[in-house]
Homo-oligomer: A and B are copies of this chain.
Amino acid sequence: MNNTINDERAAFYQRIDKHNLMPLWEQLHNLVPRQPAGACQPALWSYKTLRPFLTESGDLISAEEAVRRVLVLENPALRGTASITSSLYAGLQMILPGEVAPSHRHSQSALRFVIEGRGAYTAVDGERATMEPGDFIITPSWTWHDHGNPPQLEGGEPVIWLDGLDIPIVRFFDAGFAENYEKPVQPISRPEGNSLARYGMNLLPVRHQATSHTSPIFSYPYARTREALETLLRHEEIDECDGVKLRYVNPATGGWPMPTIATFMQVLPRQFSGKTSRSTDATVYSVVEGRGTVWIADQRFDYEPRDTFVVPSWASLRFENQEECVLFSFSDRPVQQALGILRESR
């Protein structure tokens, strides 16, 4: 290709540019890459490092003023986008005794995974769920929700959880709406445990019609989840990559609890030296129990309880640990499955 052609083409590109046109052939290899080539990087946030910042944030701003007092975990390669992976948001939220995080609703779906502290609640659609470490709680799309940490006899304690939201997804599709509730706290119309009794016991009300893409139970207590893991760990073959890994389920459909976010809990047995796997759904992990090592794209990360780490799309992933470890995780798998673009390799 000689220079004349190059010059002619360049001139052409300039002329069409003002008509909002671009020559595909100059970009095709970038637009249709041979394999995932996103910016997202592996990273680990140490809870020991973060915890003092949370305390400090409690002095700098109240939950009510902040609306949500959250330190957002931004992927080092995606700074300025409030994203921990290209499609998902994660943050650590703290609520102090006596505080309320006021009621609102939005198109974005959210999960809460409790990290530390007892006594706070999340209220969804007229029902409260008390939050215990290890509990997984959903605040579904377009549902009124607020959080509170009522003062206890003994004064209470800060309660901290990991928030996971589909903020980047809803932003990408330009489909977000939001509203504040007229009061900070929504009225309670059903007693705690009602949703779980109604939908979570392998029974459903006889006239129940699914009207939402989200699970009708919004709290998955850790006690039950841990018991399930324990039973399977004692008696099952261990997957060579994942240990014993379960996914949370919408009991009214058998599908994912939320249409945009998959959630998982897994136990890695003692003395586990896992095999390598990859998947196109970048995944955020929160350590529930145990210390161990994870190799992500050949980088080593040592984790301990309450740490958060992120595995990018198609990055190689391998677990190694001496102690038994329990890991909560979430990803955009439901979307990739619905779109037919999920790919895995083991």
A210 and B191 CA atoms in complex are apart in Å by 34
Q: How many copies of this chain does one complex carry?
A: 4
Chain A residues with a Cβ closer than 8 Å to the other chain, count: 130
Contacts A68-B25, A206-B245, A247-B204: A341 and B170 contacting too (C-beta < 8 A)?
A: yes
CB–CB B50/A21 < 8 A: yes
Nearest CB of B to A199, in Å: 9
Judge if A194 is at the interface, Cβ distance under 8 Å. yes
Set of chain B residues within 8 Å of A86, measured between Cβ atoms: 172-174
Judge if A118 is at the interface, Cβ distance under 8 Å. no
Of the listed stretches A74-82, A268-276, A296-304, chain B binds: A74-82
Among A68, A248, A312, A341, max chain B CB count under 10 A is at A341
CB–CB B69/A25 < 8 A: yes
| Contact among B19, B43, B246 for A53, CB-based, below 8 A | B19
Could you give, for residues 7-49 of chain A, a 1 whenever the CB lies within 8 Å of some chain B CB and a 0 otherwise? 0110010011001111111011001111111101001010001
CB–CB B45/A20 < 8 A: yes
Nearest CB of B to A330, in Å: 13
CB–CB A202/B220 < 8 A: yes
CB–CB B31/A171 < 8 A: yes
A93 and B244 CA atoms in complex are apart in Å by 39
CB–CB A338/B259 < 8 A: yes
CB–CB A175/B33 < 8 A: no
Nearest CB of B to A160, in Å: 14
